[in-house]
Amino acid sequence: MNGQDSLKTPILVLGATSLIGGFLLDRLRALDLAPIAVSRRPPGADLGWLDADLSDPDLVDGLPPVGTVFSLSPIWLLPQALPALKARGMSRLVAFSSTSRFSKTASPVAAERAVALALADAEAAIAAWCGDNGVAWTILRPTLIYAEGRDGNVSRLAALIRRLRVLPLSGPGAGLRQPVHADDLAAGAILAASAAIAEDCAYDLVGGETLTYRAMAERVFEGLGRRPRIVSLPPALFALALRLAAPFLPGATSAMGDRMAKDLTFDDAAARRDFGWSPRDFHPRF
């Protein structure tokens, strides 16, 4: 995937410290587009960074003129910031949501159902507001995002494998996954922002391969230079082990074991057709 040079400038990147943010800034800078990066805790004194909080009612006062906005921050923070961004000139918006808006609607964990609802509500609010105010929008919904050593999904699995040397799964781990690299998402966002056909549309963005949870774990072993050592536990035993280990595994939920048996797959055909989305296969290297 190559960058495009038809973006409306200046460019603002919300959530620039996110997993995708660093890759997106690098790609935009490589195109000589001088993005302005937003964070509540800007790293260093780099002139390209802006200290701003999307929930600040006076946000507009600190914003520079802007043409295209990339939003990598939680999408539910965006609706309240839209008037300020438009007041500074925003005419094009590419905002990241998540396929969790679909996959977590029936989760047994209430907090996950709340996230699914918040994602869906924010998407609807953005489409409606932008439609009423002449801003061309595109919503991108990634599946599970990884960036070696930095994410809370694949890299977390790698850290667990390093610690335990053997990976326990709930049952055979037959549920399908489509891990997508953060740098591919950065490239995809630039392509989407440059494609007129992608205006006022939402796309599911998945990785280049669909593989079982077990196969995904085997690739993580390979990425660590280790021979896969995976043990399938009966789901009830896995659930018990997870409950006992929960204090040492921040973010672990009771739904994790059950989910290993479930397919979490989506179709990226529309993104491939409309803006040339072509993500890499899953071969992480740690």
Ligand X SMILES: NC(=O)c1ccc[n+]([C@@H]2O[C@H](COP(=O)([O-])OP(=O)(O)OC[C@H]3O[C@@H](n4cnc5c(N)ncnc54)[C@H](OP(=O)(O)O)[C@@H]3O)[C@@H](O)[C@H]2O)c1
**Contacting positions for ligand X (CB under 6 A):** 14-15, 17-21, 39-41, 53-55, 72-75, 77, 96, 98, 142, 144-145, 153
* Radius of gyration, CA atoms only, the chain: 20
Least Å distance between CB 140 and ligand X? 8
Nearer to ligand X, 178 or 212 (CB): 178
Task: Count Cβ atoms below 10 Å from residue 285 Cβ, excluding itself.
Answer: 9
Least Å distance between CB 209 and ligand X? 16
Least Å distance between CB 108 and ligand X? 20
Nearer to ligand X, 92 or 101 (CB): 101
Contact between 28 and 35 under an 8 Å Cβ cutoff? The reply is yes
Least Å distance between CB 115 and ligand X? 9
Rounded to whole angstroms, the Cα distance separating 121 from 117 reads 6
Name the β-bridge partners of 50: 38
Nearer to ligand X, 18 or 138 (CB): 18
Tokens of 256: 């994790």
HSE-CB for 207 with a 13 A CA cutoff: 25
What SS3 class is residue 34?
Answer: coil
Nearer to ligand X, 22 or 223 (CB): 22
Nearer to ligand X, 188 or 257 (CB): 188
Q: Do strands 176-177 and 211-212 pair parallel, antiparallel, or not at all (unpaired)?
A: antiparallel
Nearer to ligand X, 19 or 94 (CB): 19
Tokens of 276: 């040339």
* Secondary structure element (H or E) that encloses residue 14, with its range: strand 11-14
* Cα separation values, 184 from 27, 115, 149, Å: 11, 24, 16
* Cα separation values, 211 from 174, 180, 186, 206, Å: 9, 12, 22, 12
Least Å distance between CB 183 and ligand X? 12
Q: Which residue has the tokens 């781990």?
A: 173
Nearer to ligand X, 80 or 91 (CB): 80
Respond yes or no on whether the N-terminal peptide bond of residue 65 is cis (omega within 30° of 0): no
